[in-house]
Amino acid sequence: MAQEPRPVIPGFHPDPSVVRVEEDYFLVTSSFEYFPGVPLFHSTNLTDWTQIGHVLNRRAQLDLSRAKPSGGIYAPTIRHHGGRFWMITTNVDDDGGQILVSATDPRGPWSDPVRIPGAAGIDPDLAWDDAGRLFVTFATFDAATITSVIRQAEVDPVTGNVQGEPIELWQGTGHKFPEGPHLYRINDYWYLMLAEGGTERGHSVVIARGPTPQGPFEANPTGPILTRRGYPGTLQNTGHADLVQRPDGSWAMVFLGVRVRGGSHGFHGLGRETFAAEVRWQDGWPVVGDLLSPTVAHPSAISSTVTGTSSGTAVSTVTDVLTDFSAQLGYEWVSSGPASGSPVAALGDGSLLLNSARYSDVFLGRRQEQLFAEATVSIEPGSGRGALVLRLTPTHEYSVEVSASTVAAVSQVGAVRAVVVQRTHSTEWPGSSRESTSVTVYVAVVPETSGSGGPDCVALGYMKDGERVELARLDGRYLCTEVAGGFTGRLFGIVSADGQPAFKHFRYRGSDDATALALDAPAV
């Protein structure tokens, strides 16, 4: 893993699980409190992925009415068995235990969920034996002893009933929080692979094998097969992996990791991303090899610039996506807040309203997918207030807020909300009519220049006569998990701070090369 890390699915897409059916690969990731749930991707080579929908895209499938930040959907597993696709996951803010859905076509429709209350825990896995019995393997946590254990239950996929009591399989190799188990039948052994060490710097992937789905399991004698603990470099926190075999018999792995930047501690704002690597087998154990890297521009881009080495391998892209709110939103868009109904109402002129009664009731956004990025949107505040936000959590976000008379840079860090800079109509306002002016604002993630040791800065401002007018430049560390906590990543989005402002022409641009974005240049 010597090369510069490049995720195969960038942005906050952790806990990947993958399945191959003939020449096609399908992958799902965690979605936490955001709806729709469980993003679904397709690839034919394991490196270039296109989102084709969400598994849980109906409110009847997914109740997030009690979801807290970094709650909701944890660690799905996708498998194919008996001519159907199966997906199991945990809604940690719902009391129903694991939920299992299936479909004949991964693009849907997926069934209503079958609940498995007898297998309480997180990170469930699916595996069938030769007799057709389904085993659900999952992680449990004992708060009293602060220990995790991997357990397993035989489950009826039609009813969700558990046959007998779940049994304990393995506690890992001794590091904290064994979780994310996956069970495989490979040749003469059943392999149990899991993550341990916690999803921070101590994260790792370990594996054991045994003669039956219930073990007994012996650990790989060489220790973790994947970890970055104690290693230098930007790729850190690697873990929570899934194995897949190619049609030619070779193997690969998908796993989560983060790209840290900044001072010696290191910070990441994008969240845990999906990476992939080669796998070879030695003495009956998997050995993780080189990283796999994307070879084409991001598929969601309407225009992109690709540069490469002399060998022709793409090494950087500029993604530029304009969202017209008069059309159906793309799969990259997610929302949090409402428990039922649509979070948005589109107007005929391409504008969009949020169905929100108070600030942050409804957040509509898309992930930051590159290290450096900018979002712009036009806001018609009317008699209310609207905001363009860069959010890690509802209590850790920066925004540009627009009313009929003001434009303001706002910081929310923990319980402290501060208006950093505010301009009024009498000083500098980009228009002449307060009642009818649509104001274009921007939030940009730019290189860190203050010497704080953080990963980046966040510039907040608005457009005037085609030029950026910067209101404030804030420390990006406060929108990083190392400071704010949680399990998600940054999203650019819109909120209604008051009333029903209208939003139009949302544009996202991103690149891992800050110079390619030319953020100080006049607007296009």
Catalytic-residue membership of 179: yes
pLDDT tens digit sequence for 111-121: 999 999 999 99
Per-residue b/e over 426-456, b at no fewer than 16 CB within 10 Å? eeebbeeeeeebbbbbbbbbbebeeeeebbb
Whether residue 224 is predicted with pLDDT greater than 80 in this model: the reply is yes
Cβ atoms of residues 204 and 174 within 8 Å: no
Of 89, 74, 61, nearest to 33 by C-alpha is 74
**pTM recorded for the entire structure:** 0.92
* Predicted confidence band of residue 519 (pLDDT cuts 50, 70, 90): confident
pLDDT at 303: 40
Gap between the Cα atoms of 232 and 512, Å rounded: 20
17-223+239-246 and 314-517 have identical folds = no
The whole-number average pLDDT for the span 152-157 is: 98
pLDDT at 297: 58
pLDDT tens digit sequence for 452-475: 889 999 999 999 888 899 999 999
Of 521, 50, 513, 520, nearest to 318 by C-alpha is 513
Q: Per the CATH hierarchy, to which homologous superfamily does domain 17-223+239-246 belong?
A: Glycosyl hydrolase domain; family 43 (2.115.10.20)
Question: Cβ–Cβ contacts within 10 Å for residue 377, how many?
Answer: 27
Tokens 């957040």 correspond to: 363
Whether residue 419 is predicted with pLDDT greater than 50 in this model: the reply is yes
The whole-number average pLDDT for the span 310-329 is: 71
Domains of the chain: which residue ranges? 17-223+239-246, 314-517
Whether residue 523 is predicted with pLDDT greater than 70 in this model: the reply is no
* Predicted confidence band of residue 426 (pLDDT cuts 50, 70, 90): very low
Residue 299: Cβ-neighbour burial (10 angstroms; 0-12, 13-18, 19+): middle
* Predicted confidence band of residue 504 (pLDDT cuts 50, 70, 90): very high
Type of residue at 404: A
Gap between the Cα atoms of 466 and 270, Å rounded: 29
Q: Which residue has the higher pLDDT, 347 or 447?
A: 447
Query: Could you tell me the CA-to-CA distances from 254 to 106, 111, 176, 349, 479 in Å, in that order?
Result: 19, 26, 22, 42, 26
Candidates 94, 123, 154, 179; catalytic one = 179
Type of residue at 70: S
Tokens 């849907």 correspond to: 108
pLDDT at 304: 42
The whole-number average pLDDT for the span 408-414 is: 97
pLDDT at 250: 98
Q: What is the mean pLDDT of the chain?
A: 89
Whether residue 95 is predicted with pLDDT greater than 90 in this model: the reply is no
Cis peptide before 16 (omega within 30 of 0): no
H/E run at residue 336: strand 333-336
Fold classification of 314-517 (topology level): Jelly Rolls (2.60.120)
First to last CA, the chain: 39
Residue 69: helix, strand or coil by DSSP? coil
Question: Cβ–Cβ contacts within 10 Å for residue 412, how many?
Answer: 20
Of 228, 241, 313, nearest to 277 by C-alpha is 241
- Residue 181: both structure tokens together: 């188990």
pLDDT at 521: 46
* Predicted confidence band of residue 298 (pLDDT cuts 50, 70, 90): low
Please list, in sequence order, all residues whose beta carbon lies within 8 angstroms of the beta carbon of residue 129, skipping any fewer than 6 positions away.
Answer: 135, 185, 213
Residue 298: helix, strand or coil by DSSP? coil
Catalytic-residue membership of 369: no
